[in-house]
């Protein structure tokens, strides 16, 4: 076991990651990207107490404080690699901020017992074969300041690069009653997201706030600059701010797909729901499915189910929507 050194991994250039991003649908999702070492690099602990070690193909973050902040020059996980957060408890949280100019490409495994934030203003791709098993995983292109995080305030008030997005083609699993949140100017889920009795949030925004301890209000905002820059994997304008063609299973919990205010006629639909969302429960009241497209259209051609012994809720209501 050895501490990570600060050796320059210049082979993993910005151009390389951009190429992977543009090929995400046609190549990455087919699992054809050749193996290459792209583990998290140059981690610096900015707050809290944590030790970063490398053991073979595994990067281990041994955290001794309840909350910790780590700045990384790059954060990627290849197919044969694993990142493991050893946190003090399920209430612990680790804020991982990417400071370099590369997108995050996640093809391997990430494990944690608590909350893990991965913030990359350049975009994040969870590729086919990625396995995320985290108490509450949050991924976004929007940044938040250190003080807010250390005070458990999820106020993401610093936009990422205009047009940067999040794509999931892998498997993301939260702990029971945990939260999965993917928030960026555009979000695409072609994979599997699971959060039994928890909450899954797909949000289209470049700034947002999540209140986990108060009234649960979700506040989002999306700038005109971001809307103008939105491109899909082929470099064409996106047709939907949120595309859900995969499977979301909250098993009696709550699934929320929500967009901020968007200019009319910029996209064909704000939410395209062609996949499956399950909020069923065999032993209690069914969960809730909320599709909240503020000021635009929702296209639903997939399956929505919120059955339970006492029923459930599927809604397009916007009463929990607020503008940041």
Q: Supply the CATH number for residue 223's domain.
A: 2.160.20.10
DSSP 151: T
- 155 within domain boundaries: yes
Is 60 exceeded by the pLDDT of residue 101?
yes
The pTM of the full predicted model, rounded to 2 decimals, is 0.85
- 15 within domain boundaries: no
Task: State residue 14's pLDDT score.
Answer: 35
Residues 6 or more apart in contact with residue 79 via CB below 8 angstroms: 35, 107, 108, 129
pLDDT band at 72, cuts 50/70/90? very high
Is 50 exceeded by the pLDDT of residue 224?
yes
pLDDT band at 184, cuts 50/70/90? very high
Task: State residue 216's pLDDT score.
Answer: 55
pLDDT band at 294, cuts 50/70/90? confident
More confident residue, 249 or 13: 249
Task: State residue 308's pLDDT score.
Answer: 76
Task: State residue 38's pLDDT score.
Answer: 66
| Mean pLDDT for the stretch of residues 179-197 | 96
Distances, alpha carbon 134 to alpha carbons 84, 86, 138, 142, 223, in Å: 9, 11, 9, 20, 30
- 51 within domain boundaries: yes
More confident residue, 71 or 38: 71
Q: Return the percentage of the chain with pLDDT > 70, whole number.
A: 77
Task: State residue 262's pLDDT score.
Answer: 63
- 98 within domain boundaries: yes
Nearest residue to 139 (alpha-carbon basis) of 162, 111, 168, 171: 168
- 23 within domain boundaries: no
Domain membership of residue 70 as a residue range: 43-321
- 296 within domain boundaries: yes
Task: State residue 233's pLDDT score.
Answer: 57
CB distance 72 to 98 below 8 Å: yes
DSSP 26: T
Task: State residue 7's pLDDT score.
Answer: 33
Is 70 exceeded by the pLDDT of residue 11?
no
pLDDT band at 264, cuts 50/70/90? low
Residues 6 or more apart in contact with residue 288 via CB below 8 angstroms: 253, 254, 255, 279, 306, 312, 313, 314, 315
Q: What is the mean pLDDT of the chain?
A: 82
Task: State residue 219's pLDDT score.
Answer: 78
- 19 within domain boundaries: no
The number of folded domains in the chain is: 1
pLDDT digits (tens, 9 = 90+) for 20-62: 444 443 333 333 333 334 689 999 999 999 999 999 999 999 9
Is 50 exceeded by the pLDDT of residue 77?
yes
- 164 within domain boundaries: yes
Is 50 exceeded by the pLDDT of residue 4?
no
Dist CA 60 CA 82 (whole Å): 8
Is 50 exceeded by the pLDDT of residue 320?
no
Task: Out of 21-25, 82-86, 121-125, 242-246, pick the least confident.
Answer: 21-25
Task: State residue 71's pLDDT score.
Answer: 98
Is 50 exceeded by the pLDDT of residue 237?
yes
């Amino acid at each position: 076991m050895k501490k990570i050194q600060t050796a320059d991994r210049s082979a993993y250039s910005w151009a390389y990651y951009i190429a992977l991003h543009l090929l995400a649908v046609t190549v990455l999702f087919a699992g054809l990207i050749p193996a290459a070492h792209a583990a998290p690099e140059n981690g610096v602990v900015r707050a809290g107490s944590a030790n970063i070690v490398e053991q073979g193909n595994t990067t281990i973050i041994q955290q001794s404080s309840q909350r910790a902040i780590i700045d990384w020059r790059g954060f990627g996980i290849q197919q044969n690699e694993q990142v493991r957060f050893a946190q003090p408890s399920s209430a612990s949280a680790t804020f991982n901020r990417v400071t370099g100019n590369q997108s995050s490409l996640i093809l391997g495994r990430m494990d944690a017992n608590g909350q893990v934030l991965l913030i990359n203003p350049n975009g994040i791709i969870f590729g086919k074969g990625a396995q995320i098993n985290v108490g509450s995983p949050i991924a976004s292109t929007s940044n938040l300041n250190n003080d807010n995080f250390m005070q458990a305030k999820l106020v993401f008030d610093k936009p990422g690069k205009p047009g940067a997005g999040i794509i999931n083609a892998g498997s993301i699993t939260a702990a029971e009653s945990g939260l999965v949140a993917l928030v960026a100017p555009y979000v695409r889920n072609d994979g599997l997201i699971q959060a039994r009795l928890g909450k899954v949030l797909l949000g289209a925004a470049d700034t947002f706030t999540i209140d986990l301890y108060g009234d649960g209000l979700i506040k989002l905002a999306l700038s005109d600059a971001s809307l103008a820059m939105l491109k899909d994997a082929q470099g064409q304008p996106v047709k939907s701010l949120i595309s859900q063609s995969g499977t979301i299973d909250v098993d009696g919990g709550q699934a929320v797909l929500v967009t901020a205010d968007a200019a009319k006629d910029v996209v064909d639909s704000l939410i395209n729901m062609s996949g499956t969302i399950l909020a069923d429960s065999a032993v209690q009241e069914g969960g809730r499915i909320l599709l909240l497209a503020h000021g635009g259209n929702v296209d639903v051609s997939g399956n929505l189910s919120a059955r339970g012994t006492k029923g459930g809720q599927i809604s397009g209501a916007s009463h929990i929507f607020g503008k940041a």
